[in-house]
């Protein structure tokens, strides 16, 4: 038996009731306070319940925040500041560092002609910067200063070698003007099969009603003069893609079709690709940058269409899979070679 267990043995037969009877009321109250279960580290309890009440004072009244702040400020002003252990006198100690002069050895000394010595002595910082760039001392200047001095035939580094690098000031590029195309007028000219209308460009017109685009595709089925049709960034979806697919099955004059940057899904692209197989006049097709990735099946269909349609010599799409990309590149090379041989004949 350990010493600790021996120490506990003498308290085994103690009668607690007899001890409590001998305690005074003050001692009983103190024991009651000691037995209260409190947890000062429990953040879930309010601050007043983490510790027992040890005060007997009566409350002084409601809290007056302004009076409390004034009292704390007054107490802070009345507290005397502590004196520094070592008072500050402003005296400078030590000696300032002076860089020792390096003597150039005789074998490293360079003697120039008097004319060059005089020219270098009177050269400005900008001229010295250009000379250093011409001599290849690119470590003495920034990349911008170096390339400006090499590419320009005039002195352009007016700040000097030890100048602070300034950011380039680029000229603001104005936004592209809105597309001035009148859709209603274009629709009338397409329906009338206007001979002078060979290109329909509706790029960046985002408020075209879907029925009007559908009517335009319907009118192009019988048009024989339009060579280029572009619907870039017109917020076109699958209904427009299906209308374009129906148009490609019947139109025999269109050579370029651009439907990039739209909301066409894989279903709409698949309908367009299937219609391209039935069209023998289309030479350029661009379908890149749709709202969502079309998927592996559509990319495989694109490669198959390019292999089966030798008339297509330009195709706009960024493949994500290596297999369809390689097949499409090989098919485009073959189609362009066939087109070159046909021109020779």
Classify burial at 248, counting beta carbons within 10 Å of its beta carbon; exposed 0-12, middle 13-18, buried 19 or more: buried
Rounded Cα gap, residues 299 and 321, in angstroms: 8
What's the first-to-final CA gap in the chain, in angstroms?
Answer: 114
pLDDT given for residue 139 in this prediction: 64
pLDDT given for residue 147 in this prediction: 67
Rounded Cα gap, residues 159 and 307, in angstroms: 60
Low-confidence winner among 42-56, 116-130, 138-152, 164-178 (lowest mean pLDDT): 138-152
Here the tokens at position 53 are 């009440």
Please state, as a whole number, how many other Cβ atoms lie within 10 Å of the Cβ of residue 4: 7
pLDDT given for residue 282 in this prediction: 94
Q: What is the mean pLDDT of residues 326-334?
A: 95
What's the DSSP call for residue 229? E
Quickly state the pLDDT bin for 141 (edges 50, 70, 90).
low
Predicted confidence (pLDDT) at residue 161 exceeds the cutoff of 60: no
Q: Which residue has the higher pLDDT, 166 or 215?
A: 215
Model pTM greater than 0.85? no
Predicted confidence (pLDDT) at residue 243 exceeds the cutoff of 80: yes
**Parallel, antiparallel or unpaired: strands 284-286 and 314-316:** parallel
Here the tokens at position 247 are 């148009």
pLDDT given for residue 214 in this prediction: 94
Predicted confidence (pLDDT) at residue 152 exceeds the cutoff of 70: no
Predicted confidence (pLDDT) at residue 142 exceeds the cutoff of 70: no
For residues 322-345, b (16+ Cβ closer than 10 Å) or e, as one string? Answer: eebbebbeebbeebeeeeeeeeee
Highest mean pLDDT pick, 29-38, 101-110, 144-153, 230-239: 230-239
Predicted confidence (pLDDT) at residue 34 exceeds the cutoff of 80: no
pLDDT digits (tens, 9 = 90+) for 269-303: 999 999 999 999 999 999 999 989 999 999 999 99
Predicted confidence (pLDDT) at residue 117 exceeds the cutoff of 80: no
Predicted confidence (pLDDT) at residue 329 exceeds the cutoff of 90: yes
Here the tokens at position 69 are 């702040």
**Parallel, antiparallel or unpaired: strands 314-316 and 199-201:** unpaired
User: In sequence order, what are the beta bridge partners of 199?
Assistant: 228
pLDDT given for residue 317 in this prediction: 95
Helix, coil or strand: residue 227: coil
pLDDT given for residue 36 in this prediction: 64
- 130, 157 in Cβ contact below 8 A? yes
C-alpha dihedral, 255 to 261 to 267 to 270, nearest 10°: 30
Q: Which residue has the higher pLDDT, 96 or 201?
A: 201
């Amino acid at each position: 038996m350990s010493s600790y267990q021996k120490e506990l043995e003498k308290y085994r037969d103690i009668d607690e009731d007899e001890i409590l009877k001998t305690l005074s009321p003050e001692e009983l109250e103190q024991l009651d306070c000691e037995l209260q279960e409190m947890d000062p580290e429990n953040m879930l309890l309010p601050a007043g319940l983490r510790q027992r009440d040890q005060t007997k004072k009566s409350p002084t009244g409601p809290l007056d925040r302004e009076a409390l702040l004034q009292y704390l400020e007054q107490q802070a002003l009345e507290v005397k500041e502590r004196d520094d252990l070592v008072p500050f006198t402003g005296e400078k100690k030590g000696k300032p560092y002076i860089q020792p002069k390096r003597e150039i050895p005789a074998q490293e000394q360079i003697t120039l002609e008097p004319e060059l010595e005089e020219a270098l002595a009177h050269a400005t910082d900008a001229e010295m910067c250009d000379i250093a760039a011409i001599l290849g001392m690119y470590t003495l200047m920034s990349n911008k200063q170096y390339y400006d001095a090499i590419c320009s035939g005039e002195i352009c580094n007016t700040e000097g070698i030890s100048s602070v690098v300034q950011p380039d000031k680029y000229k603001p590029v104005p936004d592209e003007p809105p597309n001035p195309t009148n859709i209603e007028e274009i629709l009338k000219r397409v329906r009338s099969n206007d001979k002078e209308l060979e290109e329909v460009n509706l790029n960046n017109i985002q408020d075209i009603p879907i029925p009007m685009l559908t009517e335009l595709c319907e009118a192009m089925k019988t048009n024989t003069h339009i060579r280029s049709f572009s619907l870039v960034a017109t917020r076109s979806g699958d209904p427009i893609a299906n209308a374009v697919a129906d148009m490609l099955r019947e139109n025999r004059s269109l050579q370029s079709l651009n439907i990039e940057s739209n909301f066409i899904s894989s279903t709409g692209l698949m309908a367009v690709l299937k219609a391209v197989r039935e069209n023998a006049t289309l030479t350029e097709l661009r379908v890149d940058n749709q709202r969502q990735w079309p998927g592996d099946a559509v990319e495989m269909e694109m490669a198959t269409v390019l292999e089966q349609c030798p008339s297509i010599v330009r195709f706009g799409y960024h493949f994500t899979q290596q297999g369809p990309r390689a097949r499409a590149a090989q098919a485009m090379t073959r189609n362009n070679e066939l087109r070159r041989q046909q021109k020779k004949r």
